[in-house]
Structure 1
Amino acid sequence: MEAQKKRVAVLVGCNYPNTANELHGCINDVLAIKETLVKRFGFDDSNIEVLTDAPNSCKLPTGANIKQALAKMVDGAKEGDVLYFHYSGHGTRIPSKKHGHTVHHEEAIVPCDFNLITDLDFRQLVNRLAKGASLTILSDSCHSGGLIDKEKEQIGPSSSVQKGSTSKTSYTLTHKTIPYDFIQQHLSSLTKATATDIGTHMLELFGSNASLRFQTASHALLEALGPDEGILLSGCQADETSADMNPGVAGKAYGAFSNAVEMVVREKEGGLSNREVVVRARKVLQGQGFDQHPCLYCSDENADATFLGHPQKTEH
């Protein structure tokens, strides 16, 4: 008898309450997507782990906690399992030198403790996935395009894009990014070290829990890891920002991309491909007046595969 296939999710929402980087819609995003996963995509509530920085949260979305939850999900997967990681929060770009001369940028998400999780961490995670299992990552954060290192662009900067019209909403818009300089200054204030290399501060503060990008063996890992079966739906291109919308007393705050995906999957009873979800989300955001362009990074086969593995359930 064939073993039952699992559908497992890790959902992370960081609002950074009472800080200079506070957002308002990220926790709402993951609570909304959790309901959608259960009602329309067949996930069991017991197979969904939620990490938020809400005051009553039982498990904060620190870098170590997020990576631990992702490792547990990935390492426990078997052939046919469907895995999903949804992140709503700040992103950043880390300047780095490849090949010794040109300055490039590496993408990262910003957990509540600033223990950055980088594109290399996600690539290494995907490459550990059991053959025949799938891992879909949706990152509603700034600079999220390219968050899985070396994954193939299906919809990205080279795709045809149009600027949105001016938004007519009365919402307060906050960009979901924390500049690299701010992060470096914050970390150096904690370590009291004068080093200008962010990796020095990361290793001193977080040790072995720091990103692989800052570990000694990172260069060897970069050469060893190749494209695999990861699926990334990013809220914007690598050089763009994603919006956090706060209507104040008028309604519920939300992330623009998370909300667009929610709208897209709810209005279509049958299954949508990963490509269709991103294309439709782009159209929703353009119609709402946003200048961010969601992207899709995955293999050709996964671009046309059904989002989260099978047709959505119809709600009754």
Structure 2
Amino acid sequence: MAAKKTKPGNDATALSLHIGLNAVSAAAYEGWDGPLAACEFDASDMAAIAKAKGMTSTVLLTKKATRANVLAAIRGAAKALKPGDLFFMSYSGHGGQVPDIDHDEKDRKDETWCLFDGQLIDDELYFELSKFGAGVRILVLSDSCHSGTVTRDRPPIPPPGTRARLMPAGVAMRVYEAHKAFYDKLQNDVAKAAGGQVTDPDAALSQVGTAGQASTVIGEFKPSVILMSGCQDNQVSLDGDHNGAFTEQLLKVWNHGAFEGTYGSFHARIRAGMPASQSPNLFVLGPAAAFLKQAPFAT
């Protein structure tokens, strides 16, 4: 993934990674293939925004959205980017959970992205993001059922005729039991590489009193990170025919680049347009106050 200047006279480099899975490998998920309809469209639409803003993009769809490919793309960006640069990453697919063995989660669960051949644990993601240099801006958009707080409730059953982007709890436990050594080793390896327990930003969200309020995690994060996810813990992110519900509303608010405002107002507008049953979340890592005040996708 080669870096390039985003526009003449601008020293900033902007790279993006867009992940969309309409299915996962049944062999990696104990017979479950998790069919969805709109995740590849989400990834392509996010890549179109990146292209319009002059970013160099990598798009990984379904079978190409493997653990190795995703980690390679993130690590490549971490090596290529310098202070002031931007990394924009989007994920559309199922969210899952594995038991937490390093006790960084109060609910004793680590949240995951369900990649084609295995899950990416949230500890891994946060550790990889922490390896970006100081001054790098990172935007992560996740249209999946994923962690919003540490007080995760059981998500409601989606309405008839709809598809939730959530790996069923029974499948999650079956997958974990079948691959326990692999997922336990991942958590231990990340904790060891981080010099001890991973500081999980989800923990700070338990202290957020106002729904949707951003929370800064104080830790070793040198880059500035903004993360938006599709729903709260007691909700589900719904799939659609062309886009997920969160991505569809994001695109409507973005309006082909006509939106004017900051990341904070962007999130607020997206949230205001969603039904009460699905409220997108927002939180930050590292010194992100100035980043939040910038225009969305600005390179």
Aligned equivalent of 1:53: 62
Structure of higher CA gyration radius: 1
Q: Cα offset for 1:16? A: 0.5
Q: Cα offset for 1:267? A: 6.2
Aligned equivalent of 2:192: 217
Greater displacement, 100-109 / 60-69: 100-109
Q: Deviation digits for residues 174-194 of structure 1, max 9, x if unmatched?
A: 1101134413423555x6xxx
Q: Provide the secondary structure at the position in 2 that maps to 1:232.
A: strand
Aligned equivalent of 1:163: none
Q: Cα offset for 1:297? A: 0.7
Mapping 1:275-294, distance limit 5 Å: 275-286=264-275, 291-294=277-280
Pair 1:214–1:183, CA change in 2 (3 A):
farther
Pair 1:6–1:122, CA change in 2 (3 A):
same
CA contact (8 A) 2:50 2:297 kept: no
**Which amino acid letter does the alignment assign opposite residue 182 of structure 1?**
V
TM-score normalised over the length of structure 1: 0.70
Q: How many residues end up aligned between the 2 structures?
A: 258
Pair 1:66–1:223, CA change in 2 (3 A):
closer
Aligned equivalent of 2:216: none
Q: Provide the secondary structure at the position in 1 that maps to 2:291.
A: helix
Aligned equivalent of 1:269: 258
**Which amino acid letter does the alignment assign opposite residue 258 of structure 2?**
E
**Which residue of the other structure, out of 202, 205, 209, is the alignment partner of 2:183?**
202
**Which residue of the other structure, out of 18, 21, 35, is the alignment partner of 1:22?**
35
Task: Tell me whether 1:131 sits opposite 2:112 in the alignment.
Answer: no
**Which residue of the other structure, out of 70, 73, 98, is the alignment partner of 2:74?**
70
Q: Cα offset for 1:11? A: 0.4
Task: Tell me whether 1:245 sits opposite 2:234 in the alignment.
Answer: no
Tell me the percent identity.
Answer: 21
Q: Deviation digits for residues 239-290 of structure 1, max 9, x if unmatched?
A: 43211013xxxxxx2211111111111166254311112111112222xxx6
Listed as ranges, the gaps of 5+ residues in structure 1 are: 55-59, 150-156, 158-165, 192-197, 204-209, 247-252, 311-316
TM-score normalised over the length of structure 2: 0.74
CA contact (8 A) 1:231 1:297 kept: yes
Greater displacement, 30-39 / 264-273: 264-273
Pair 1:221–1:98, CA change in 2 (3 A):
closer
Q: Provide the secondary structure at the position in 1 that maps to 2:90.
A: strand
Q: Deviation digits for residues 53-100 of structure 1, max 9, x if unmatched?
A: 26xxxxx11112111111111221011111100000000133336669
CA contact (8 A) 2:14 2:86 kept: yes
CA contact (8 A) 1:91 1:177 kept: yes
CA contact (8 A) 2:164 2:237 kept: yes
Greater displacement, 12-21 / 23-32: 12-21
CA contact (8 A) 2:127 2:190 kept: no
Listed as ranges, the gaps of 5+ residues in structure 2 are: 1-7, 27-31, 153-157, 201-218
Q: Provide the secondary structure at the position in 1 that maps to 2:297.
A: helix
Q: Provide the secondary structure at the position in 2 that maps to 1:137.
A: strand
Task: Tell me whether 1:300 sits opposite 2:275 in the alignment.
Answer: no
CA contact (8 A) 1:136 1:231 kept: yes
CA contact (8 A) 1:144 1:235 kept: no
Greater displacement, 3-12 / 171-180: 171-180
Pair 1:236–1:107, CA change in 2 (3 A):
same
Task: Tell me whether 1:13 sits opposite 2:13 in the alignment.
Answer: no
CA contact (8 A) 2:227 2:282 kept: yes
RMSD: 3.4
CA contact (8 A) 2:127 2:194 kept: no
Provide the rounded CA distance (Å) in 2 between the counterparts of 1:257 and 1:81: 26
Mapping 1:144-183, distance limit 5 Å: 144-145=147-148, 172-183=161-172
CA contact (8 A) 1:93 1:179 kept: no
CA contact (8 A) 1:97 1:103 kept: no
Provide the rounded CA distance (Å) in 2 between the counterparts of 1:77 and 1:259: 30
CA contact (8 A) 1:265 1:272 kept: no
